[in-house]
Structure formats: C-alpha cells, structure tokens
C-alpha cells in the first residue's frame, strides 16, 4: 500500500493525520522487512525525535484494528508488522530471523481445493513456513 493510500484510508476511518502518525505510516510503507514496534520506534525517532514509544504503540495498534497493517507473530516473542498489500505467505529462517515473502499459484489452488473438499468456502488463512537454509 502506498503512503497516500494509507493516509487516505486512515482519514476515512476517522483517524486524525498528525505529524507523528504520518511519520509512522511512512516508516511502515518504506519498510522492506517486517519491523517490530521497537524497530518502528527507532526508525521514527531518527526522523522525529519528539515521537514517543506510546504514540508508536497506539498508532500501530490502531492501524491493526483498522486492518491497514498486518500483525505477525513469528514465534519470536514479539510482533512484527507490515502494511496490507498483495496476498502472500512467509518463510521464516529460524537461524537468522529473516522473513521471506512468497506467492505460489499451485498452493493457492490447493488451499481452495482442500476447503471445498471439506465442504467450506475459504474466507481467510495464514501460512507461515519455518525453515533452515540447506547447506551445500
């Protein structure tokens, strides 16, 4: 999701677009990883030292409630966040903590087939794979 789209969605949801919130949104949109609240806070502080950790927590939680970001729990003891973009899955490297996003057409078809065979319409799902790099 682009910054302008996210700001517009926030405004439509009744969220006032303050300077600190705009900075938090910018950090989230520009993130190429899946930052934790602590990482978001550090990035925001580098741009605007006046922003408090409480503001970051409240804003990220509000964005999650508005379904504008996705909160991930990758078995690390803390949450990571990303803006809601295209549908994808995650491969988490258990050694490095790296999170690799991927899509797979065959997997999408298989999910639908499984749901249908069980007599369901698939509404939502979450797929996280945990792995270790294969050593050559």
Residues of the chain with CATH 1.10.10.10: 3-83
**C-alpha distances out from residue 35 to 43, 73, 80, 110, Å:** 10, 11, 5, 30
**So what's the pLDDT on residue 117?**
95
Identify the pLDDT of residue 1.
63
CATH 3.30.1490.190 intervals, the chain: 89-131
Express each pLDDT in 80-135 by its tens digit: 898 877 778 889 999 988 888 888 899 989 999 999 999 999 988 888 899 999 98
CATH architecture of 89-131: 2-Layer Sandwich (3.30)
Residues paired with residue 99 on neighbouring β-strands, in sequence order:
92
- Look at residue 56 in the predicted model and tell me its pLDDT: 95
Q: Model pTM?
A: 0.74
**77, two tokens:** 């003891």
pLDDT digits (tens, 9 = 90+) for 37-74: 999 999 999 999 999 999 999 999 999 988 888 888 88
| Three-class DSSP labels, 78-122 | CEEEEECCCCCEEEEECCCCCEEEECCHHHHHHHHHHHHHCCCCC
At 76, is the pLDDT very low, low, confident or very high (cuts 50, 70, 90)? Answer: confident
Spatial distance between the Cα atoms of 116 and 105, rounded to a whole number of angstroms: 17
- The CATH code of the domain at 3-83 is 1.10.10.10
């Amino acid at each position: 999701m682009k910054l302008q789209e996210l700001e517009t969605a926030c405004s439509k949801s009744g969220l006032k677009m303050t300077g600190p919130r705009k900075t938090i949104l910018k950090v989230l949109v520009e993130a190429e990883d899946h930052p934790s609240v602590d990482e978001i806070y550090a990035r925001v502080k580098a741009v605007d030292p006046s922003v408090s950790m409480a503001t970051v927590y409240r804003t990220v939680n509000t964005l999650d409630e508005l379904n504008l970001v996705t909160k991930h729990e990758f078995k690390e003891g803390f949450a990571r966040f990303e803006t809601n973009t295209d549908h994808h899955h995650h491969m988490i490297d258990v050694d490095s903590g790296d999170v690799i996003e991927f899509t797979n057409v065959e997997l999408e078809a298989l999910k639908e087939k499984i749901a249908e065979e069980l007599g369901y319409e698939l509404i939502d799902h979450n797929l996280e794979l945990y792995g270790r790099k294969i050593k050559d």
